[in-house]
Amino acid sequence: MAMPPHMDARIDFHGMPACRLALDDGSQVIMALHGAQVLSWTPGGQAERIYLSPDADLSGQRPIRGGVPVIFPQFGALGPLPRHGFARNLAWHLEAIHSNSREGYASARFSLCDSPATREVWPYAFRAELTCCLSENRLDLELEICNTDHRAFAFTAALHTYLRVQEVEECQLTGLHGQPYTDQTHGRSARDTAPELTVEDEIDRLYHDLERPLLLREPGRALAIHMQGFPDAVIWNPWERKCADLDDMPPRGFRHMLCIEAAAITRPIELPPGQDWYGRQTLVCL
């Protein structure tokens, strides 16, 4: 069902063109057209679950600090492209908005295709789609990449999800026990032996080959995190020293965020011509 005309889906978010989806229970998600980036998610009757820095630059001239940046076709500095690729820095096209009051969901679909600007740094034809689906206590984000070129290409990708937490030192993340990871802060590989992960200092870990969902517990609430198509996960918090070096984040902003990123990094995705790939991250309030 198309969204009823009285629902104002296109909004201005602090000067930035955006899309808002809302449900009858009060649930709401806001996405910028810049980067197709989720900026806010508030389940009905609950507090904000996505961290957006109050100092984020919303001019469209630089990456937005917080939300859920779409990372494609390169994660971080693991290649010749600008850090985290170009998808998060470009305007996406809002293809469609749908809602179904009876089934209790609303969704938006964005697209990004290659252009002369993208081919200057990455010489391939592609089509990317980001679909956001809002339902009761749940947010689904799906990234799809289609190879429209005549050649195969390889890429890495992620949904760089900044979760808003009440106090990061009080969080417990379960589901990582026994998982191998690369500690990108200290340059070493290890296997997680703790029953739950707690964050008490800078952390930048790339976990490989996840086979089970994660559960983020805080006092009084919990969030289940499911990933499909994304075999890796990045857990990141800059802590005090690195946070102080970020000009688009308040000095103590690190205390109220934890990045749990669905990712495909360890083994780049190899995509033949005419084929597509998708990865999904689902967040469920418990």
DSSP letter string, 86-104: SGGGSBPEEEEEEEETTTT
Q: For 90-116, write each residue's pLDDT tens digit.
A: 999 999 999 888 889 999 999 999 999
At 5 the pLDDT is 34
Residue 132 has pLDDT above 90, yes or no: yes
- Return the domain boundaries, the chain: 10-285
Domain 10-285 top-level CATH class: mainly beta
In the DSSP assignment, the letter for residue 35 is T
218 is written with which tokens?
Answer: 């805080």
Q: How far apart are CA 126 and CA 258, in angstroms?
A: 31
**Backbone φ and ψ of 165, nearest 5°:** -125, 160
Residue 51 has pLDDT above 60, yes or no: yes
At 8 the pLDDT is 57
